[in-house]
Structure 1
Amino acid sequence: MKSAKASLCLVLIAIVSVNALPPASKAEIRRNIRVCAKENGVSSQSALRVLKGNFFDDSDNIKCFIKCMFSSMGFINENDEVNEEAIREKVMEHIGSDEANTLYEKCNITGEDLCDTSFLVYKCIFENYDVSPDMMDL
């Protein structure tokens, strides 16, 4: 598994760039939510709750749903390796380096596995970054 910093970048992209996406990309994200929820045994309601920052359900299924979403975005490959180059490119399109570095320091978390790390870092971002309430209005 690569560093949690790379997973942090995944989260930054998911959080910061959703509202800037064109309608076709939002439709793809909605499809990926349905696919990842089904693959991980997560209800659509639970999937949307966690994506909107409700972390009461911290089951393995939810954690792997988050990892699946990152994979569907092309930032984790089929061998569970983080594609750091693609992530860095995308992050710099949506967030300044100073703000990203602050979040890196605060949310440099490594979990038991890639699912756990993805969930913990995603949660940390919601707790430490000013996320728009309508961010996940897909």
Structure 2
Amino acid sequence: MGTTVASTLNTNMKTLQPAILAAILLLLGIADLAMGMSGRAFERAKEVDEKCRNENQVERAYFEKFIKARIDQVDPPDNYKCFVKCVMVELLALNEQGEFNIDEELENVPPEIMEEGHRIINACKRTPGKGACDKAYQMHKCYHNENPELYSLVLHYWENASQ
């Protein structure tokens, strides 16, 4: 009887090992997100944010409101939409005419959220807009609608990185 119990425990442990490993990896991934996000876009956040805020005269208070609110319930002024366009232009994801460069935008995704970020961008890559500023805003609205929690998290880290 002792051999059967030991054999059953050994089999159960082998079955549980992948689940335990997956749980550990998930916790490590969450810990990485808790520490922040990295990558090309966040390396330039301070410089890009400052340039685009100054050019479009966007106040930080409005951005904070935007992070906390649901994007589909916010009606931003045109200068905020142009701020979003400026950021996308500076990060090479959009040109001045509003033409989207998916390859560059995919490069802007933080490695910590690569898989979901790429899924979101591909879902939103054909988002139309009325002019370049509106297109940039509509794309970000689409990003939000695809994953509101992740979008808010990215904006939160952008705000922290840009100060």
Question: TM-score w.r.t. structure 1 length?
Answer: 0.61
Structure label with greater radius of gyration: 2
Whether 1:36 aligns to 2:55 is no
Provide the rounded CA distance (Å) in 2 between the counterparts of 1:29 and 1:97.
21
Identity of aligned residues (%): 19
Provide the rounded CA distance (Å) in 2 between the counterparts of 1:88 and 1:25.
11
Which of the pair is proportionally richer in helix? 2
Mark the CA change 1:53 to 1:73 in structure 2 (over 3 Å): closer, same or farther: farther
Q: Map of 1:120-131 to 2, 5 A cutoff?
A: 120-129=138-147, 130-131=149-150
Mark the CA change 1:62 to 1:101 in structure 2 (over 3 Å): closer, same or farther: closer
- Aligned residue in 2 for 1:76: 94
Provide the rounded CA distance (Å) in 2 between the counterparts of 1:98 and 1:83.
15
Q: CA RMSD in A?
A: 3.7
SS class of match (1:96) = helix
Whether 1:96 aligns to 2:101 is no
The answer as to whether partners of 2:49 and 2:87 remain within 8 angstroms in 1 is yes
Quote how far apart the aligned CAs of 1:78 are: 5.1
Quote how far apart the aligned CAs of 1:114 are: 1.8
- Aligned residue in 2 for 1:85: 103
Q: Which moved more, 1:108-117 or 1:74-83?
A: 74-83
Q: Which moved more, 1:73-82 or 1:121-130?
A: 73-82
Provide the rounded CA distance (Å) in 2 between the counterparts of 1:40 and 1:64.
7
Mark the CA change 1:20 to 1:102 in structure 2 (over 3 Å): closer, same or farther: closer
The answer as to whether partners of 1:42 and 1:62 remain within 8 angstroms in 2 is yes
Stretches of structure 2 lacking an aligned partner (at least 5 in a row): 1-32
The answer as to whether partners of 1:37 and 1:47 remain within 8 angstroms in 2 is no
Question: TM-score w.r.t. structure 2 length?
Answer: 0.54
Q: Which moved more, 1:81-90 or 1:120-129?
A: 81-90
The answer as to whether partners of 1:53 and 1:123 remain within 8 angstroms in 2 is no
Provide the rounded CA distance (Å) in 1 between the counterparts of 2:81 and 2:140.
10
